[in-house]
Amino acid sequence: MAVVGFVGLGVMGRPMAANLVRAGHEVRAFSRGAAGRESAAELGVPVVAGLAEAVQGADVVLTMLPDTPDVRAVAVGPGGVLDHLAPGAAYIDMSTIEPGAAREVAERFARAGHDALDAPVSGGEAGAREGTLSIMVGGPADAVERWRDLLGTLGTTVVRVGESGAGQVVKAANQLVVATHLQALAEAIVFLEAHDADVATGLSVIARGLGGSTVIDRKADGVLAGDFRPGFRLELHHKDLGIVEGAARTRGAVLPVTAVVGRLVQSLVQRGDGALDHSALVALARELNGTSERAAAPPPEGTSQGAPHGAETR
């Protein structure tokens, strides 16, 4: 059992920290937002008053934060994790950030004598609650093995995919696949509707063949019901596709289909639909074909209208 500092108690971080507590680890959790701290405490997660208290004396510190600037500030900024980390303790970032930034952060920790891993996740809020996340890890092989059991508390798939930054590269690839699958689903639905086909039946057949995907399995029912309440918000997917675009440019990789889907996602965000689920690409495809009105905005957060279909955050 380890003493674990956990920073970032959002939708994903809260259940992840709770799973570490249930596994018997001594957790000291902190989040900048009072709502996150309160919600985590309700799940039985020990919450401390500040970042320093979460980090000092920990064997390992995990962060689960929204974006690259947040990780830079919390991990290596003034008064951040690196300033308070005990000698020999490790740092694992489980956020989704730019691969180059992940490498830079890892180098800062390595120079100070600490193991550092980038370990972004896929599987969404449900996976975080159930401890079934897929975790793609970048960093030294011996460090990955040292912390494999702890990561196994959070996910059923823990795979080292390369050196520092490689976890973020694989996560970016995951996000481009999800986005293009969503757009393919959108266009398949529009095509089926244009031919007056039974869309639900058609998708059920496609799902059992080579065209099947987790996107169809998780999103089709909600889309056909016109339910675009956020499981994973378009604005977050827009952020992730920006990471893909930037990382591709640094290596001269040409991703034409991803670029087109990225612009479609951006158009939804720019017109104010960033809070909708990323499956709202289907609604945009229908609009472009003149077959539906604009998708409705989601209900205010906290209203009781059932769980969003295919709820996920990563």
Catalytic residue status for 171: yes
Other CB atoms within a 10 A radius of the CB of residue 214 amount to 14
Residue 102 structure tokens: 């992940």
Q: How does 168-203 read in b/e, with b if 16+ C-beta sit within 10 Å?
A: bbbbbebbbebbbbbbbbbebbbebbeeeeebeebb
Residue 309 structure tokens: 């279909």
Angle of CA points 215, 218, 224, to nearest 5°: 95
Residue 162 structure tokens: 């390369």
Helix 99-111 to helix 68-76 angle, to the nearest 10 degrees? 10
Which amino acid does the sequence have at 96?
T
Active-site residue (options: 171, 233, 238, 239): 171
Q: How far is 310 from 125, CA to CA, in rounded Å?
A: 10
Residue 194 structure tokens: 């244009």
What contacts 231, CB < 8 A, 6 or more positions away? 124, 125, 277, 279, 308, 309, 310, 311, 312, 313
Residues paired with 158 in a beta bridge: 135
Q: Which residues are catalytic?
A: 171
